[in-house]
């Protein structure tokens, strides 16, 4: 909330400044406030990522490596540990972005043909609910991310505190990403809106004319829903629509989520098994 307030304020001040109504010094103060808020979020992402890599990675493992801005810190930390501790780990990336980052860092990259069984997958999220259900795909990578996570014995989420919600949709207002086959995107939109309500939109590129194209050559819809849902049912209903490749709803997949806090600390939430004990990562240090 605080960050949004600063961002809005900075936008307003920028407009006013253009009209010569605001002193440049005041504008500078506002900008400095915004960037220090951003620094705290960057710090929070980094703390969560470092903690996950430190707690869950050990020698000899096969790892699933997610996509997004938080995972960049995880890859950096992984590269540090591999070098310092001479670890022998194999990484299966979930996107072109993560493959490129892993390659740049000199880490061993594999794929699901050669490495179909993973010890741990680590990935970011757009939102995490109290039961560790996730919305993912803000960066259009949800399909490969879901496949990789499904191949891991233990799935760890890393995020800053803004992603931590009781219910999906509480903080994340951009909707559920859904990857679709391009020629079917209109029928899919119509089916979603008819069957589930809300509004689905084709995601458009930011610095590209036309829609966002995923690493798989498909389109992304963002479905804005209006109320609390039975996410397991919704996920199944959307997945059944012809033309849908995958949804950004990760239901009952994550075992632990680390949240970086503004003060630099990290909290975590974990899934409990039926007898009330945490589902443990056997490789956790
Ligand atoms: O498609 C992108 C992925 O699902 C990301 O893991 C998700 O959007 C979170 O990204 P970030 O770490 O940048 O918040």
Kindly provide the ipTM of the predicted complex, given to two decimals: 0.98
The whole-number pLDDT of residue 83 equals 98
Is 132:271 a contact under the CB 8 Å cutoff?
A: yes
Distance of CA 37 to the CA centre of its chain: 20
Which CATH number does the domain 43-167+252-270 belong to among 3.40.50.1360, 3.30.70.980, 3.30.70.250, 3.40.50.620?
3.40.50.1360
Positions annotated as catalytic residues are 145
Give pTM, 2 decimals: 0.87
The whole-number pLDDT of residue 94 equals 98
Quote the tokens at residue 172.
């994340």
Estimate the crossing angle of helix 70-85 against helix 96-104, to 10 degrees. Answer: 30
Question: Over the chain (285 residues), what is each successive 10-residue block's mean pLDDT?
Answer: 42 44 54 69 97 98 98 98 98 98 98 98 98 98 98 98 96 97 98 97 97 98 91 97 98 98 95 73 65
Give the atom of ligand 1 at the shortest distance from the alpha carbon of 145. Answer: 4
Domain range list for the chain: 2-40, 43-167+252-270, 176-247
CA 14 to ligand 1 centroid distance, Å: 29
Give the atom of ligand 1 at the shortest distance from the alpha carbon of 45. Answer: 12
Give the atom of ligand 1 at the shortest distance from the alpha carbon of 69. Answer: 13
CATH architecture of 176-247: 2-Layer Sandwich (3.30)
Tell me how far apart the alpha carbons of residues 221 and 232 are, in angstroms, rounded to a whole number: 19
Tell me how far apart the alpha carbons of residues 27 and 23 are, in angstroms, rounded to a whole number: 7
The whole-number pLDDT of residue 31 equals 54
CA 23 to ligand 1 centroid distance, Å: 37
Tell me how far apart the alpha carbons of residues 148 and 214 are, in angstroms, rounded to a whole number: 16
Which residues, 6+ apart, have CB-to-CB distance to 20 below 8 Å?
none
The whole-number pLDDT of residue 28 equals 53
Q: List pocket residues of ligand 1, CB cut-off 6 Å.
A: 66-70, 123-126, 136-142, 145
Is 245:144 a contact under the CB 8 Å cutoff?
A: no
Residue with CA at minimum distance from ligand 1 atom 3? 137
CA 229 to ligand 1 centroid distance, Å: 22
């Amino acid at each position: 909330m605080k960050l949004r307030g600063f961002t809005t304020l900075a936008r307003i001040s920028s407009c006013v400044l253009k009209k010569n109504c605001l002193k440049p010094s005041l504008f500078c103060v506002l900008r400095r406030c915004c960037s220090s808020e951003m620094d705290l979020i960057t710090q929070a992402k980094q703390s969560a990522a470092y903690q996950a890599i430190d707690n869950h990675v050990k020698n000899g493992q096969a790892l699933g490596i997610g996509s997004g801005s938080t995972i960049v810190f995880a890859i950096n930390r992984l590269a540090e540990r591999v070098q310092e501790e001479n670890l022998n780990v194999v990484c299966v990336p979930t996107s072109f972005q993560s493959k490129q980052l892993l390659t740049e860092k000199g880490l061993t990259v594999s794929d699901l043909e050669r490495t179909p069984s993973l010890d741990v997958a680590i990935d970011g999220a757009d939102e995490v609910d109290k039961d560790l259900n996730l919305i993912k795909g803000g960066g259009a990578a949800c399909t490969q991310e879901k496949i990789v996570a499904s191949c891991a014995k233990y799935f760890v989420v890393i995020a800053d505190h803004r992603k931590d919600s009781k219910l999906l949709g509480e903080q994340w207002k951009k909707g559920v990403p859904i990857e679709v086959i391009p020629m079917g995107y209109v029928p899919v939109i119509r089916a979603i809106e008819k069957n589930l309500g809300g509004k689905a939109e084709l995601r458009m590129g930011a610095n590209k004319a036309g829609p966002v194209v995923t690493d798989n050559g498909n389109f992304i819809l963002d479905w804005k829903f209006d109320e609390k849902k039975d996410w397991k049912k919704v996920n199944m209903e959307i997945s059944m629509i012809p033309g849908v490749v995958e949804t950004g709803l990760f239901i009952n997949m994550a075992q632990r989520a680390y949240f970086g806090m503004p003060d630099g600390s990290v909290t975590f939430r974990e899934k409990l098994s039926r007898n009330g004990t945490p589902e443990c990562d056997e490789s956790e240090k």
